[in-house]
Structure 1
Amino acid sequence: MLEQAEELSAREQARYVVHLPIFEGPLDLLLHLIEKRQMEITTISLVAVTDQYLAYLHQWEAEKLPLANMAAFVSIAARLLFIKSQSLLPQNNKEEANEEGENAVTMAEELQHHLVEYKMAKEIATILRQREEAGMQTHGRSGLLAGIEAQLTWTPPTLVNMEVQSLSRAFQRLLELQARDEENDTSLMPVARVRVSDRIEEIMTHLHEQPELPLTEVVANERSRLVIIVTFLAVLELWKWQRINVRQSELLGPIMLERGERWGDAGQETMDGMEDW
């Protein structure tokens, strides 16, 4: 009798085990969250699902699931945080906030564009798969199919060397500390005017003066959560173009930024892509 009760209890507990799905990429997850809410693909919907998107990343990290391209998920998360932070800014000084707002709008429009194309590609791929299963394999390999494949495999630029989760956690801790500071600060701080290109230039200036520096030094004395988020985007961009390397010599040790393989390149790819950020 006792064995039957234990077996029944085990079955009851098994019913409540949550198995998170593994998505093909960051766009797949983002589209799932928006469609689950039965929302259109708009800036409002991107803001609405930001917290859920981050929750998935935290859960995957806790369960130590082997994501093939975690950097792509983190990159999209950073963009969502930037878009959401702009949507929450007070509008009492519209002239000062206008430039940052335009940057967020551009970023949101780019994400919306990729999401719409991704959704269309998934729908067409489903139809083609159904035709194949039904034995209707007469469709040819056209430019359209090549475009579908490109959209289904699109991800933001990947990062190498140090585990990007460590960098993400470091910035998350900085944001949490800043949130506590803001709760204890009753004064109204002015909205900081900052662009990704500004932070890139500042990081480059620091590294011109010294070959490496701690990540904490880049955001030292910053009192704005927005500045911390924008700094994260700047580090990702510099890392992508191999202008810098990001390393952590030991577990829980300081995260260091140092000159990368393409530090001395004369090309301006990084800054050219950042002019409007």
Structure 2
Amino acid sequence: MSGDSHQSIGGSYSVKTAVFEGPMGILLELVTRHQIEITAIDLSDLVSDYLKFLDEMRKLDLDVTSEFLLVAATLIQLKARALLPADADIDIDEELALMEERDRLLQRLLVCVTFRDVAAVIKHRLQETNRYVPRVSGLDQKIEAPPPEVVLPIDGVGLAEIASKVFTRGDDDLDLDHLDLHLPSVSVAIDELRVRIATELDTTFDELVEHCERPVELAAYFLALLELARWGIVGVSQPEWTGPIRVNHKEGVSAGHITSEWT
């Protein structure tokens, strides 16, 4: 047996013998299917090469170690059974027990491979769907149950009288003193962002709006940032969909001749 052993791309321990070269899992499958003679594999060299492989890794990988121990134990059992002298009187119960034990080992290997493959599929789907946003609205209007019929305890004449009273009372001039109508200007936000971005060449949107106290101010600065990005004055990126918005100044771009629809 050659002393050449390595770790494959998928993290599985690979071996190279006179009759086989490849991952340990495939070696076990071929042996159990009798496609490779078990007596042709030198288990002592296999264990020695694996110990050298662990020294080269300098860090114990539980997945690789578990796979090797499972395969090695199965190979030892199969080889010991093959080397024992054949008994003329075959005990059917003993043979059935050995076959059941072999099937149990193969079943554990199959379960291990199944969970590994399923975990890979789940990981891939999580990476592919991490940008999806679930719909939070209710059922579609077409399939919603119709509202119950409302029976009014009044006739048409009485309803007209009530409507007349509602429409004629009150003043048309609404009192808006209690409302905060001091809205920020998007054009002013554009000018402020151009000055700040010229000095802070690489920053984030959170840092640019840390002085804002109201949500409406955040909205104005966000619209101003979109306007600057449309002009090509700044570059905007968001590597992660929940991460910060990166803003960087583009050198050599002048927007002196550009007019905004917000001015």
TM-score with structure 2 setting the length: 0.31
Which structure carries more relative contact order (alpha carbon 8 Å, separation 6+)? 1
Q: What TM-score do the two structures reach when normalised by structure 1?
A: 0.30
Structure of larger gyration radius: 2
- The structure that is helix-richer by fraction is 1
